[in-house]
Amino acid sequence: MSPAEQRPDDRVIIFDTTLRDGEQSPGISLNVGEKLEIAHQLARLGVDVIEAGFPIASPGDFEAVRSIAAEVEGPVIAGLARAQAPDIDRAHEAVRVSARPRIHTFISTSDIHIEHQLRSTREDVKGQARAAVAHARSLVDDVEFSPMDATRADVEFTAEVVQIALDEGATTINIPDTVGYAMPAEFAAFLERLYELAPGLRDIVLSVHCHDDLGLAVANSFAGLQAGARQVECAINGLGERAGNASLEEIVMLLRTRAADVGLWTGAQTREISRTSRLVSRLTGYAVQPNKAVVGRNAFAHESGIHQDGVLKERSTFEIMDATTVGLDANQLVLGKHSGRHALKSALQELGFDVDGQALNAAFKRFKEIADKKKHVTAMDLEALVTDELRDQLRAYTLEWFDVEASTRRPPHARVGVRSPEGELMEGDFTGDGPVDAIFRAINAATRREGRLREFRIDAVTGGQDALGEASVVLELSGQSAGGQGVSTDIIEAAALAYVRALSNAERRVLAAAADEAPAEEAEATELTATP
C-alpha cells in the first residue's frame, strides 16, 4: 500500500506488551537493563505503544517502567494498574517522566471472575471502574481501560462498564479475550454489539487483546480489527501468559501482505522484525519454533525440489512475503579479522548500537577473539556478541579460565577460576554427569553459591561449522531466578559464560530483595513497639 493510499482512519495502533504480558510467561525474568534494551529495539521497530510493565508488582518492575519512560523516546509508554488508587498512583509515578505517558487500568466484568476471583458484585465493579478511570484521568490525559475476561462476560454488563469508563474520560477501551476462549466471528459480533450498546466507542480508540489458548489469538485480533478496532495488543514471538498473546510480527505482516484486500496499515518498520524477534528470544531464553510464521528459521526456507525450483525461477511462486521486508537479509558478511575498531564501530552503529569508549574497547577485544577463530563475522554474530558483552556488568562474577576433561571412560571433570565482584580470584572443581554439568557445579564450588539450574539451551547463531554457539541459562539462587547468555565458538565456554552471568544477575536480585525487605521489617518493628 503506497503512503498516498493509507487513510488515517485505517491506521492500526501497535500496542506491544512483550515487557508486561510477555514477561508474565513462566520462567521469564528480565532485569532492568534487558528490558531497556528490548524497549529501545521496540522503538526502532516503530511500535506505537510500549506497555513497559506492572509498576506495583515489584520494585524491579517499577524501576524498569520508570527507566523506559525516562529513556525511550517515540512510543507512548504505558504502565498497567488494577482498578485501585495505589496501583494507579504507582503506575503514574513510573510513567510520568515519559513525554507520552499512559495509564492502563483494568477490572473483570465476567461473573466468573467477579464471584470467584474478586469476591465482589457487579455494582462494586462499576464503582471501582468509575473511580479508577476518574483517578487515572486526573493524573494523565491518556487512559486505557480494559474489562478483563470480557469475552466470557455478559455483553450488556460489559457495555455498561465500558460506558462508565467513557463517561470518566477513558481514551482507549481495550477488549481482552483473557483466556483465549473466543472464536473470530463471535469476537467480531461481541465488538459490534458493544458499538451498538455504547456508541461513544466510535469516538475513541477501540483495542483488542487476545490470548492464544486455542491458537486463535491472531485470527481473533484480526476479526476485531475488521469489526472496527484500531489498536491491537500483541507481543514479539507471541509471548504472554500461558499460550501467549497475539504475535506482533504475524499481525503486522498480515496487514502488510494483504493490504490491498484489507486496507489497514501500521507504522511498523518491518525490516526490524527479525532482529527484534532474535533479541527477545535471546534475552527471555524462549526459543522461536523453527516453523513459526514470519520469524521461524524455516519461515522462508524451501525444502522440496519443486518449491526450490519455483522460487529460483520466480520468488512469488512459493513465497507470499519477501524475506528482506522482515530484515532477513541481515546476515551478509560484514567484518573479518583484519577489520579495525572504526569498522566495528560503524557496523555496530548500523545495527543500532551506539558504542564508544570502554564499551567499544570491550566489544573490539571480544570481536578480535572471535574473528581469530571464525573467518567471517556476520551481522548476526555481531548482534549476539554485542548483546552478550555490553550488558550492565555491575557487581558481576567473571569467568577467568576453565579446564574441562571429557571422556567416555571417566566421569567428566571441570576446574574453573572465577573472579568475584570484589576482585578475588576463586577456584573450584567438580566431577559431574557431563562436561556442562561439571562446569556449572565447579562454578558453584568456586563462588560458594548454590545456584540451581532451571533451564539450559544452546543454539548456533548462524549456520556453518565455525558458527558461534549461543548458550542461555536460567538458574535459581536463594529463591530468586535469573537468566544469562554467553556466546563463543566453544559451546562449553558459551555455557560457562551464560551460567556466570545468570549467577551474577540472580545474586543482584537476592541482594535487592533483601534491601527491599529491610525497611518493611523495620516498619513492622516500629509498629509493634508502638502498640500499647
Q: Which residues make up the interface to Zn ion (CB under 5 A)? A: 21
Q: Report the Cα 145 to chain-centroid distance in Å.
A: 22
Please give the Cα distance from 425 to 419 (Å, whole number).
4
Which of 133, 132, 182 is CA-nearest to residue 155?
182
Q: Between 236 and 503, whose beta carbon lies closer to ligand KIV? A: 236
Interacting residues with ligand KIV between 17 and 46 (CB under 6 A): 21
The least distance separating ligand KIV from the CB of residue 312, rounded to whole angstroms, comes to 45
Q: Which of residues 382-411 bind ligand KIV (CB under 6 A)?
A: none
3-class secondary structure per residue, 125-182: HHHHHHHHHHHHHHHCCCEEEEEECHHHCCHHHHHHHHHHHHHCCCCEEEEEECCCCC
* Cβ-contact 373, 466 below 8 angstroms: yes
Residue 209 Cβ vs Zn ion, minimum distance, rounded to whole Å: 6
275, 276, 277, 281 alpha-carbon torsion, rounded to 10°: 100
Q: Which is nearer to ligand KIV, 79 or 484 (CB)?
A: 79
**According to CB under 6 A, which residues from 66 to 125 bind ligand KIV?**
106
Q: Which is nearer to ligand KIV, 87 or 249 (CB)?
A: 87
Phi, psi of 454 (to 5 degrees): -110, -40
Q: From the CB of 474, what's the least distance to ligand KIV, in Å?
A: 23
Q: Are 144 and 104 in contact (CB under 8 A)?
A: yes
Residue 178 makes contact with ligand KIV by CB under 6 A: yes
CB closer to Zn ion, 21 vs 37: 21
* Among ligand KIV, Zn ion, none, partner that 55 touches (CB below 5 to 8 angstroms by kind): none
> Least distance in Å: CB of 233 to ligand KIV?
7
Find the binder of ligand KIV among 55, 60, 101, 176 (CB under 6 A). Answer: 176
Whole-number Å distance between alpha carbons of 170 and 130:
10
Instruction: Determine the residue type at 459.
Output: D
The verdict on 146 binding ligand KIV (CB under 6 A) reads yes
| Secondary structure letter of residue 297 according to DSSP | T
CB–CB of 234/246 below 8 Å? Answer: yes
Cβ distance 219 to 226 under 8 Å? Answer: no
Q: Under 8 Å CB-to-CB from 332, ≥6 apart: which residues?
A: 378, 379
146 binds, among Zn ion, ligand KIV, none (CB under 5 to 8 A by kind): ligand KIV
Residues 308 and 319: their CA atoms lie apart, in Å, by 11
Return the number of the residue (163 or 174) whose C-beta is nearest ligand KIV.
174
Residues 204-223 that bind ligand KIV (CB under 6 A): 209, 211
Beta bridge partners of 452: 476
Q: Which one, 22 or 469, has the nearer CB to Zn ion?
A: 22
- Looking at the Cβ atoms of 21 and 272, the one nearer to Zn ion is 21
Quick check: helix, strand or coil at residue 495?
A: helix
Q: Smaller CB distance to ligand KIV: residue 174 or 221?
A: 174
Nearest to 33 by CA among 67, 84, 62: 67
Which CB, 211 or 256, lies closer to ligand KIV?
211
Residue 32 touches which of ligand KIV, Zn ion, none (Cβ within 5-8 Å per kind): none
For the chain, give the number of residues.
532
509 touches ligand KIV by CB under 6 A: no
Does 136 contact ligand KIV by CB under 6 A? no
Q: How many residues line the site for ligand KIV (CB under 6 A)?
A: 9
What is the nearest approach in angstroms of Zn ion to the Cβ of residue 220? 12
From the CB of 179, what's the least distance to ligand KIV, in Å? Answer: 8
From CA 521, how far away is CA 524, in angstroms rounded? 5
Residue ranges in 289-328 that form contacts with ligand KIV under rule CB under 6 A: none
Residue number closest to ligand KIV, CB atom: 176
Residue 78: CB minimum distance to ligand KIV, A: 11
What gap in Å lies between CA 18 and CA 41, rounded to an integer?
Answer: 12
The one of ligand KIV, Zn ion, none whose footprint includes residue 148, by CB under 5 to 8 A per kind, is ligand KIV
d(CA 15, CA 208) in angstroms, rounded, equals 10
Closer residue to Zn ion (CB): 21 or 470? 21
At residue 475, φ and ψ (nearest 5 deg) are: -135, 170
Which three three-digit cell numbers place residue 397? 562474577
DSSP letter (8 states) at residue 97:
T
Residues binding ligand KIV (CB under 6 A): 21, 106, 146, 148, 174, 176, 178, 209, 211
